[in-house]
Amino acid sequence: MPKKKPSQDKQQDVKEQGALGFSESYWRENYHNLDDMDGIYNARDHALYLRAVFALDQIQIRSVADFGFGPGHLFAAVLDTFKPYKCLGLEPSISAFTRAQQLLKRSGSTLLHTDLLSWCRDESQQKRFDLGLCTSVLQYLNDEELAQVLPILAQRLKYLYLTVPTSHEQQRFIDEYDFIDNYAYSRSREQYLAMLSPYFTIVSGRILESKQHFNEKNSDFTENLYRF
Ligand SMILES: C[S@@+](CC[C@H](N)C(=O)[O-])C[C@H]1O[C@@H](n2cnc3c(N)ncnc32)[C@H](O)[C@@H]1O
């Protein structure tokens, strides 16, 4: 999510659908200055943070998927850092997809122009990944979409790197930057935790562990104190 954004039109009652891709005007208005956008100016810091957290517990990350890679900076930094043998990225917005193709072409990643729910519904997607990235994307899925997506992600991933703005943060964007995201749903921290907790355990800042694959007894993460 950008740190700073210019003001937009008043929030609509009917949400625009992120799964169909954001409009060209969204990208033009909100992504013209990449220098202060989280996941872009600090993409390498995100990747180094992930490397350090997994290295501390000697957890190998050999495959990575990004669900909504946008302009692709964070995904590229993570691929560059972990050098996975298998990688997949998906992105429904055609302009972001096209832009990121350039950045990601050296990585050898499979790139799909599709949305998260479509990928989850596609039963031919049999591959499993050690690490999934989903940064500032889940706010664009409605409750029904999230209810379908989360159990599949827990099956297909061991770990999920998740950032998502809660209603509290979205209010701060409005107050401080006059920014209203017409595509985003507003959910409280408690609502997100209730949706995530059947499928994932929080094991570190932004890092979730799949309950399909791990529990308290077989987890590779030490420090039981930080399991939520
Ligand atoms: C705020 S941007 C974040 C991009 C990138 N993950 C990052 O951290 O820089 C949100 C991205 O989510 C994508 N998106 C929106 N709805 C989606 C959906 N249903 N499935 C997958 N991606 C979606 C948008 O096209 C956009 O590229």
Please spell the DSSP secondary structure of 130-195, one letter per residue: EEEEEES-GGGS-HHHHHHHHHHHHHHEEEEEEE---HHHHHHHHHHH----TT-----HHHHHHH
Output the residue whose Cα is nearest ligand 1's atom 25.
93
Domain assignment present for 219: yes
What is residue 11's predicted lDDT score, i.e. its pLDDT?
A: 44
Does residue 100 lie in a domain region?
Answer: yes
Q: How far apart are CA 220 and CA 194, in angstroms?
A: 24
- What is the amino acid identity at position 170? Q
Question: Is residue 8 domain-resident?
Answer: no
Residue 157 lies in a domain: yes
**CA–CA separation, 177 vs 7, rounded Å?**
7
Nearest alpha carbon, ligand 1 atom 13: 68
C-alpha 218 to ligand 1 mean position (Å): 32
pLDDT tens readout for residues 187-216: 999 999 999 999 999 999 999 999 999 999
| The total number of structural domains that make up the chain | 1
Domain containing residue 158: 18-226
* Sign of the Cα pseudo-torsion (73, 153, 164, 159, in order): negative
Closest CA to 71 of 17, 117, 33: 33
Residue 3 lies in a domain: no
Which portions of the chain are predicted below pLDDT 70?
Answer: 1-14
Which CATH number goes with the domain that contains 207? 3.40.50.150
Residue 126: what pLDDT? 81
C-beta atoms surrounding 107 within 10 Å? 19
Whether residue 137 lies inside any domain: the answer is yes
Assess if residue 182 is contained within a domain.
yes
Residue 41 and residue 214 in contact, taking contact as beta carbons nearer than 8 Å: no
| 3-class DSSP state of 203 | strand
Quote the ligand 1 centre to 55 CA distance (angstroms): 28
Q: What's residue 108's pLDDT?
A: 92
Asked whether residue 12 is domain-assigned, the answer is no
